[in-house]
Amino acid sequence: MATIDIDFPGPDWIIIRQALALALLKQAPITIGGGAAFLEKNRDFRPIFEDIVRITAESGAGKIAVDADSIFFKPRPLGPGRFRFESDRLSSAVELLLFMMPALFHGDFRSILELGGVTHSPFSCPTAFVKETLLGALEQAGLYGSLTLRRFGFHGSCCVSMESRLYPREKVPGAMMFSGTAGPSISGAKIFISRLDTGLAELEKGMIAERLGLGADRIAIIEVMESDGPGNGMQVFASYGGTPVVLYREMKLYNEKGELGFTEETLRGVIDDLAGETRSLMDGRLPERALREILPYCAMTGTEPPVAGDSAGAAMTRELCARLL
C-alpha cells in the first residue's frame, strides 16, 4: 500500500495520535509532516509519543520512526487479546488507551488492556471523561467498552493502574450520538487533590463557584488518599443530549524536567478556561476535545456526528478522517 501523507500546517498532539491510531486501524503506512517538529517544540508530549513508539513495538503492531521534521509509521495487524503496558511518569496511560482503541474495537473478540502509570495528566483527558463521555457516546453507535480506575496516578506518578475492556463492534442502524431531546445542564463539580495543601482546593472551589454560579453544596472536594504522588484536578459534570459530559482540567504540577511548581496566575487561567468551556456547552456547543475524540468513531461507524460548533482543531480531525477512513 502506498504511503499516505498527513500534512497539516501546525499539527497538534491530538492529530498526531489520531493519525497513528487510524493508520493502525486501516493498516495504512503514513507520514505525518511536521510531527517531529511539533514534538521538538512541545517537549511535554514527547514522553507520550515515546511510550506509543514502545508499545507499538512490544505488541508487534509495526514500527514508528522519526526523520527530520516528520514521523513515519508502517503498521502491522494488531489482533485482539490481553495487553499490559506501563506509561512513563511524565506520560499518560489514557493516551495509550486512546491510541489502541480504534483498532481493538474492530477485533473479532474482546480485548483487555491493563495500563499502569499516569491516569490523570494535564496533557490528556481523565479517566472519568473516557468512561462517562467517550464510551457513553460510543455505546450509542454500537461500540461497547468499560474503564475501571484502580488507583489514581497523577502526572509524575507511577505504579498505579486502570483496566479497559473493549468489545467487537455491533452495528446500530441510524445511530446518532448526543441525540437526546434534553437540553444541556450542569449537575455539579468535583475537585481532586492529593498530597497537597487542601487550601488550594478551597481556593479552586471558590473560583469555580463564582465563575459558574454554582452553590457550594454542588462542588465537592475529594482528597485522594490512595494515589501515587501529588496531584490536583477539576471536573465539571454536565449532560448534553442525554449523554454525560465531563469537562475537566488537570493542573500541571511538574515541568518537563520533572520539577514541581506552578503559580496562582496559572491556576486562574486554567479555571477561566474551564468556566468558558462550560458556558459554551450550556449554549449548545460540545467541547472541542470531546468532539474531536468522537469524530473518528462517527466516520468509522457511519454514525451521524453530533450537531455542535466546529473549530480549527475539529476541522483538522474531520479532514484526517476523510483521508484515512
Is residue 247 within 8 Å of residue 235, measured between CB atoms? yes
Q: Which residue has the higher pLDDT, 155 or 21?
A: 21
Residue 45 and residue 6 in contact, taking contact as beta carbons nearer than 8 Å:
no
Q: Which of 299, 221, 312, 296 is nearest to 18 (CA)?
A: 296
Retrieve residue 59's grid coordinates.
505488541
Query: Facing residues of 309 across strands?
Result: none
Cα dihedral sign for 310, 17, 141, 184?
negative
**What is the per-residue pLDDT across 100-154, written as a single tens digit (0 to 9) for each?**
999 999 999 999 999 998 898 999 999 999 999 999 999 999 999 999 998 888 8
Which amino acid is located at 69 in the chain?
D
Which of 226 and 297 is assigned the larger pLDDT? 297
pLDDT at residue 159 in the model: 64
- % of residues, the chain, pLDDT over 70: 95
CA gap 121, 95 in Å, rounded: 9
The string of DSSP letters for 56-101 reads HHHTT-EEEEEETTEEEEEE-----SEEEEE--TTS-HHHHHHHHH
Average pLDDT, the chain: 92
Render pLDDT for 228-268 as a digit per residue (tens, 0 to 9): 778 899 999 999 988 999 999 988 875 555 555 667 788 89
Looking at residue 251, its pLDDT comes to 87
Residue 43 carries which side chain, given as an amino acid letter?
R
Assigned CATH for 185-282: 3.30.360.20
